Structure 1
């Protein structure tokens, strides 16, 4: 999300006094994030900090660009079981430098004995989306999990066992968004809870939750409804029906300021509560009743103020109006939909084309297409097509183009239907479009079969989490691939690992606003200067009325965190405002 900073005049001291570190650096490791900690020191002049970490076999640096005399900042990116020698250098605005006399030592412990086993299978950083991969692998034997971040070599650079949530995302401020049954928590990179939203009574979290860009929280909850004449079998056409409780998921919207209820939508009201799939009876009924809907994803479509919801147990993705709740279309197989729903079913066009089954993670791409994870469960419908056995199945990422005027859908891209080694995830899963590279990150979250064989020859119940990054080409290339699995475990009771989704995050640190932008006018030029992160691009825009903005270009860097931009002006130009944008 872009961050903007208004222009401000910087007053620079002309003092020639040497820069001095008043209180030496100290480092305190984080209790809930063992590979992170807090660095603190003070200087007599406003300065910025540069840190060099020698971890024995490698040295890495981190530069901080805020000028201050009192410094307290998180240090992130350490690896387990290393002796880290930390050297701290400070630099003021005049270029004076001072290095702390005594480096700090931070010895990181080995990863916990029950930490998931991560195996790197493929890595091509030059073709990968920059950044780190965030996910939460869970041990299926004891349900223990860790929030985890790995680098491009699948090395753990951050973890925390401080929460039991399956899902995790990074917020624009760098903190982590962690939903729980009755609350949603914001956790910083030191593993500390900094904010909690308590969910309304009777509206627990079930799947999906995120902050919108208009000050609300969207999530899927749980509810039950009594349905008469509900089918009792997905295989017997003339089986008896019964009155039963049906489990469904309302879409809930809360105000982010106080977690007060803003909106509620009931997809069950616009669909057929008696339509079933093979998934309907694939798991025992819960306290809420038969798992009829199993909604697992919400996507906002700002183009027409609509919501798109993935209904796993309907093998369908539906779109409806935010304002009225009116159904707009249904993406999925046409099997077993009644006459009243025929006008809403999207017609497939073009080849190749394949419907999705048991899908997750619907998202609108920058091209306006719909990307999702097609788990592929059964790849058939009751009374229409026989179920495909798991051992012959596969999961895939698939991208659809939807023409709402013609009510047509075409498949424009997919990966996973016919690779050399098919992977089948029986549940969960994720796809993420990555903006810089155009690659797709795919999470086979609960993999039961690889190449049509069980993950383990010793235990048929052993599953793995498998995460791949592929190029968005007609013939995709795998550029990153790792498995969370203990290949050496020979126990017949071994159950392996699973996760929910994975996200590529730009950095361990948040995108910070520019705080020292200065503007000076010299010879009909506006000279802009500020400090920033060398790893980022900074876009300069200007306005004469603070309403309409024009992007001028990107600022130039001197390689040491100092950025400049020159804007040519004529004497007749009006007064200009400037801002800096980055992401």
Structure 2
């Protein structure tokens, strides 16, 4: 840590020696130059195309707001030794141009017209009067209760109905009930007979309850909620829990943003991926016929924090996605055109994001922020093979839970809002990213159909089975969790009682082991590529200074 602080100080005062122009040495700049609507607390992030050696490279930085004047700042070098995160000591002014000068080279961006507090007030003004039950529920949320011994399960614990058990995969079901009675929400780990192995009562509905790759458990802890025109988003923070569901850490977005509940990832290199929503005033009369000149439009944010919780990457829909790419209505006063609900670290280090209201999966470069390709939606670049022609052109729609499989394929939960008739399914595509082809290689559509209009998840298990969390199923054939084998045969099925308001659904559902079995070591592609340079190189794993005996030897290296 002392060495990192010294490097930060060196960066503040020295002049760039190796590279004549920062545009040739920086692969990523945030905020994206010449963009607007940035938070007055926005971080500034610079990523070099190679590791920084403080003895050979340094920066002269000046930050000037047209209204707020010169800004002092703090500099951090992230653990990749390439990324510089800059935080100003005070906020910028609203609606001002900010010029950042790096060794004489300049770029600029413009701040938002409203502050983070004003964003909350605008949403409360337009939405809460229309949804008075939301104000009542979140104002009177009960206190959290400690875990109760399993021989005295509380009387308000949700009733679990096991519809089918045949030959499910090893492990336990992880889910959280969701409904109108927030005083009866539980995070729960269940046996195949529906009895709880572990549970925790939470004061507001549990969202995105799951196990991370390192074996820790996480849950999105709701702070407040806004439900514009029936679309859900909520301000939250992320709880990190041990196997006993005890909170050991919390995560929150930085730079003036509040985390959203939809997805949260802990990465193998110790970094974190979070999602946020960004309400901004937009004159929609200049964009669409009958647009409201006073509209409040939600942008979507993806933010990466390093192990020290500094922002090292940020991506905004404002900078890359036209509002008119949406399938959502654009003639109201409160609009949510993108609605990111999942983010996945791809096998090549880039990111896959799911945007519900675009009916699109987007691959973005984690190195530059640029879009690599767009799958589905109005700007689809792929040819679909073996799909159902009656669903064209939106073969999947309003989807959730994009995931990359070890075999290179992707899975997602197709909510099917744009199908006619509407139905939901789990799908797997084989992608040819060079020739932009997407081949449907597996799907599960229940018989009779299940339609989860909102929420939902798809998880491929090590034995080839697939766990489907059906999300917001409110009519027709109601199921909460279905596990099927590769042939589409049901191995396990679970539901909640019909007509019980406090347990209508679960945001997602997964099968994991319990106890959580923390891995002995986690190695990412980035770790390997930075440490292994030659054939027959080896990685040795130590616990502090003690050898663990774990060695990985690389006998062959491919690009």
Band of TM-score, shorter chain: 0.5 to 0.7
Residue 276 of structure 1, aligned match among 323, 326, 348: 326
Residue number in structure 1 paired with 2:512: 505
Separation in 2, partners of 1:193, 1:501: 20
Residue 478 of structure 1, aligned match among 490, 502, 510: 490
Structure 1 pair 577–173 and aligned structure 2 pair: CA distance change class (3 A): closer
Q: Summarize deviations over 1:176-223 as a string: whole Å, max 9, x none.
A: 212334532222333432222343252111121111112210011121
Aligned-residue offset at 1:331: 1.4
Structure 1 pair 174–228 and aligned structure 2 pair: CA distance change class (3 A): same
Is the 1:135–1:147 contact (alpha carbons within 8 Å) kept by the matching residues of 2?
yes
Question: Match of 1:302, SS?
Answer: coil
Residue number in structure 2 paired with 1:428: 455
Residue number in structure 2 paired with 1:32: 146
Structure 1's unaligned 5+ residue stretches are 1-29, 36-79, 81-107, 338-343, 380-387, 456-464, 515-544, 551-575
Write the mapping of 1:23-172 to structure 2, written as runs, cut at 5 A. 32-35=146-149, 80=150, 108-109=151-152, 111-125=153-167, 128-142=168-182, 144-162=184-202, 164=204, 165-171=206-212
- 1:446 has 2:472 as partner: yes
Write the mapping of 1:2-21 to structure 2, written as runs, cut at 5 A. none
Residue number in structure 1 paired with 2:100: none
Structure 1 pair 232–579 and aligned structure 2 pair: CA distance change class (3 A): closer
Residue 250 of structure 1, aligned match among 286, 296, 301: 301
Residue number in structure 2 paired with 1:399: 428
What is the number of residues matched between the two proteins?
A: 371
Structure 1 pair 397–193 and aligned structure 2 pair: CA distance change class (3 A): same
Residue number in structure 1 paired with 2:68: none
Aligned-residue offset at 1:263: 1.2
Aligned-residue offset at 1:31: 7.1
Aligned-residue offset at 1:496: 4.6
Separation in 2, partners of 1:243, 1:31: 43
Separation in 2, partners of 1:403, 1:172: 27
Q: Which has the higher helix share?
A: 2
Residue 410 of structure 1, aligned match among 413, 436, 439: 439
Q: Summarize deviations over 1:313-334 as a string: whole Å, max 9, x none.
A: 1111111211122222211144
Is the 2:474–2:504 contact (alpha carbons within 8 Å) kept by the matching residues of 1?
no
Q: Which has the larger radius of gyration?
A: 1
TM score, norm. by length of structure 1: 0.58
Residue number in structure 2 paired with 1:39: none
Is the 2:271–2:306 contact (alpha carbons within 8 Å) kept by the matching residues of 1?
yes
Question: Match of 1:274, SS?
Answer: helix
Structure 1 pair 163–241 and aligned structure 2 pair: CA distance change class (3 A): closer
Separation in 2, partners of 1:119, 1:276: 38
Write the mapping of 1:294-373 to structure 2, written as runs, cut at 5 A. 294-303=339-348, 305-334=349-378, 337=379, 345-352=381-388, 354=391, 355-373=395-413
Q: Summarize deviations over 1:262-293 as a string: whole Å, max 9, x none.
A: 11111332121123314667xx86xxx41111
Separation in 1, partners of 2:154, 2:329: 37
Separation in 2, partners of 1:505, 1:470: 15
Aligned-residue offset at 1:302: 2.9
Q: Summarize deviations over 1:522-561 as a string: whole Å, max 9, x none.
A: xxxxxxxxxxxxxxxxxxxxxxx994379xxxxxxxxxxx
Structure 2's unaligned 5+ residue stretches are 1-143, 222-234, 522-534, 541-546, 553-559
Structure 1 pair 230–134 and aligned structure 2 pair: CA distance change class (3 A): farther
Q: Summarize deviations over 1:421-479 as a string: whole Å, max 9, x none.
A: 111111000000111x111100012102234xxx5xxxxxxxxx610001122xx1010
Q: Summarize deviations over 1:466-495 as a string: whole Å, max 9, x none.
A: 10001122xx101000102246x6xxxx57
Separation in 2, partners of 1:513, 1:346: 40
Aligned-residue offset at 1:224: 2.5
Is the 1:32–1:192 contact (alpha carbons within 8 Å) kept by the matching residues of 2?
no
Separation in 1, partners of 2:177, 2:476: 18
Separation in 1, partners of 2:214, 2:400: 26
Indicate the RMSD between aligned Cα atoms, in angstroms: 3.1
Structure 1 pair 511–253 and aligned structure 2 pair: CA distance change class (3 A): closer
Q: Summarize deviations over 1:40-93 as a string: whole Å, max 9, x none.
A: xxxxxxxxxxxxxxxxxxxxxxxxxxxxxxxxxxxxxxxx4xxxxxxxxxxxxx
Question: Match of 1:222, SS?
Answer: strand
Separation in 1, partners of 2:362, 2:246: 38
Is the 1:116–1:485 contact (alpha carbons within 8 Å) kept by the matching residues of 2?
no
Separation in 1, partners of 2:198, 2:169: 19
Structure 1 pair 172–232 and aligned structure 2 pair: CA distance change class (3 A): closer
Is the 1:280–1:313 contact (alpha carbons within 8 Å) kept by the matching residues of 2?
no
Write the mapping of 1:553-572 to structure 2, written as runs, cut at 5 A. none
TM score, norm. by length of structure 2: 0.60
Is the 1:32–1:190 contact (alpha carbons within 8 Å) kept by the matching residues of 2?
no
Residue number in structure 2 paired with 1:202: 256
Structure 1 pair 138–198 and aligned structure 2 pair: CA distance change class (3 A): same
Question: Match of 1:160, SS?
Answer: strand
Larger relative contact order (CA 8 Å, sep ≥ 6): 1
